[in-house]
Amino acid sequence: MQFTCNHPWPRAVMTILMMAGASFATAGAAPALPLPAPRNLPDNGLARTPPMGWNSWNHFAGRITDADVRAMANAMVATGMKDAGYVYVNIDDTWEGKRNAAGEIQPNEKFPDMKALADYVHAKGLKLGIYSSPGPTTCAKFEGSYGHELQDARTYAAWGIDYLKYDYCGASDVYQLTLDNQRGVFQKMGEALAKVERPIVYSLSLGNVHEPWKWGAGTGANLWRTTDDIKDNWTSMESNGFAQLAITGYVKPGHWNDPDMLEVGNGGMTADEYRTHMSLWAMLSAPLLAGNDLRTMTGETKSILLNREVIAVDQEAMPKAAHRIDTRGDMDIIARTMNDGSVVVGLFNRGKSDVDMSFDLAEIRRGKTPKPAVVRDLWAHTTAAVDKGRVSVNVPSHGVSLLRVASNDAGK
């Protein structure tokens, strides 16, 4: 019996089924290859800030081709995304062909020459990412890296790959879903990547069953998925995003929680919902991997993905953890202290109606008497009014008011 990672059941359901069913190794299959003894690999020094770029899955899924990847690289430059910090152009599942006689993985007919594609992307000042699985097959049932980890890492390096998303998925055809097995298969590829000369950002894709934020860094990974696959709707995005607040303490340079790729611009949510998506991911220091067609972005989509004031929140070096400071009805109030001493406050309206609210700046400074403050509205790009230490906002349904509150020492 085979389960795919993304279809037809959500990852959580599949996980329960796998745990209940104990082993999903195919009857008569060869015994599972041994896994390395657990140890903590050294930090590879990459991804000091959360990775930014684009990934093919959310928009193209199995249709992605070499020509599309080139077009996305072109668009990333032409739209100003590259200048705003987006650098990785990541090919997700379905690029894989078969192995040659020497066991080397070949791309399929959609990708005639991976090295030439990498050269093309690099010539634009961008980086190229790829996808595989520790199992014999990937989520979409293409060839995985099982038993070929080091060989594949070498092939990726020879092609010029800069980023690997490595998806547990097909490994459940070989190994039971235990913590040791999950950790072991990821460590195995982490060790392989550490042996090749080329720096390759290492991104784990898995569910949250075994809490990868607690051990992902030890496998050599730079980021780890913490959620089910995101969908282009409010419920999915809200559930993935706000759940992260429980684990923000695990985020540190080179090691990021990944609530999945962005859906901004794919059409299933309102502009307010997409602003919430971008704001929340930025407050969480989550990877910003756009998942839309970059050639056909509306002005509104661009204003969201290219909002440099919000990107700056996401990309802060050595970020402190974001935390919920209050909930009021449908309003979820989240704050993060920035390294310059300012505080970013996200007033998230998770309800169905618009909300007018005002709050005292002292509340976000944890009771300290507020100094005169400058309040920057990161979406309106204006300075918000402060009246006797209070700020008033109108937050639309499913929208956000994202404010950066700094002391105005000049006004003391």
What is the nearest approach in angstroms of ligand GLA to the Cβ of residue 78? 26
What is the nearest approach in angstroms of ligand GLA to the Cβ of residue 6? 3
What is the nearest approach in angstroms of ligand GLA to the Cβ of residue 97? 16
Q: Using CB under 6 A, pick the residue from 66, 93, 162, 273 that binds ligand GLA.
A: 93
Q: Using CB under 6 A, pick the residue from 81, 140, 290, 344 that binds ligand GLA.
A: 140
Which strands, in side-by-side order, build the sheet including 256-258? 256-258, 223-225, 201-205, 163-167, 127-132, 88-90, 52-55, 288-290
What's the burial of 224, exposed, middle or buried (CB within 10 Å: 0-12/13-18/19+)? buried
Residue 266 within binding range of ligand GLA, rule CB under 6 A = no
Residue 238 within binding range of ligand GLA, rule CB under 6 A = no
Q: Nearest-5° angle of CA 183, CA 240, CA 162? A: 55
Residue 240 within binding range of ligand GLA, rule CB under 6 A = no
Q: Give the position of tokens 């440099």.
A: 308
Instruction: Please report which helix (H) or strand (E) contains residue 325, including its range.
Output: strand 323-328
Residue 92 within binding range of ligand GLA, rule CB under 6 A = yes
Residue 57 within binding range of ligand GLA, rule CB under 6 A = yes
Q: Using CB under 6 A, pick the residue from 66, 229, 238, 332 that binds ligand GLA.
A: 229
Which strands, in side-by-side order, build the sheet including 343-349? 323-328, 331-337, 343-349, 400-407, 373-377, 382-384
Give the closest residue to 122 by CA, choosing from 192, 191, 198. 198
88: which strand partners?
Answer: 53, 127
What is the nearest approach in angstroms of ligand GLA to the Cβ of residue 164? 12
Alpha-carbon distance of 135 to 147, in angstroms, equals: 9
Residue 205 within binding range of ligand GLA, rule CB under 6 A = yes
Residue 222 within binding range of ligand GLA, rule CB under 6 A = no
Nearer to ligand GLA, 207 or 218 (CB): 207
Contact stretch for ligand GLA (CB under 6 A) within 25-33, 136-144, 196-204, 208-216: 136-144
Residue 289 within binding range of ligand GLA, rule CB under 6 A = no
Set 66, 92, 152, 167: catalytic member: 167
What is the nearest approach in angstroms of ligand GLA to the Cβ of residue 131? 6
Alpha-carbon distance of 108 to 117, in angstroms, equals: 13
Exposure letters 33-57 (e unless 16+ CB within 10 A, then b):
eebeeeeebebbebbebbbbbbbbb
Residue 83 annotated to the active site: no
Q: Nearest-5° angle of CA 360, CA 366, CA 372? A: 50
Nearer to ligand GLA, 79 or 205 (CB): 205
Residues with Cβ within 8 Å of 259's Cβ and at least 6 positions away in sequence, in order, are 225, 226, 227, 230, 240, 241, 243, 244, 281, 284, 286
Residue 149 within binding range of ligand GLA, rule CB under 6 A = no
Residue 314 within binding range of ligand GLA, rule CB under 6 A = no
In 110-205, which ranges are continuous DSSP H helix? Answer: 114-123, 149-159, 179-195
Nearer to ligand GLA, 200 or 310 (CB): 200
Q: Using CB under 6 A, pick the residue from 167, 173, 232, 273 that binds ligand GLA.
A: 167
Tokens of 150: 């080091």
Q: Give the position of tokens 């704001």.
A: 279
Peptide bond into 259 cis (omega under 30): no
Nearer to ligand GLA, 129 or 399 (CB): 129
Nearer to ligand GLA, 57 or 242 (CB): 57
What is the nearest approach in angstroms of ligand GLA to the Cβ of residue 256? 16
Nearer to ligand GLA, 126 or 169 (CB): 169
Set 93, 229, 260, 314: catalytic member: 229
Residue 229 annotated to the active site: yes
Residue 203 within binding range of ligand GLA, rule CB under 6 A = no
> Catalytic residues, which ones?
167, 229
Q: Rule CB under 6 A: which residues touch ligand GLA? A: 5-6, 57, 92-93, 138-140, 167, 169, 205, 229
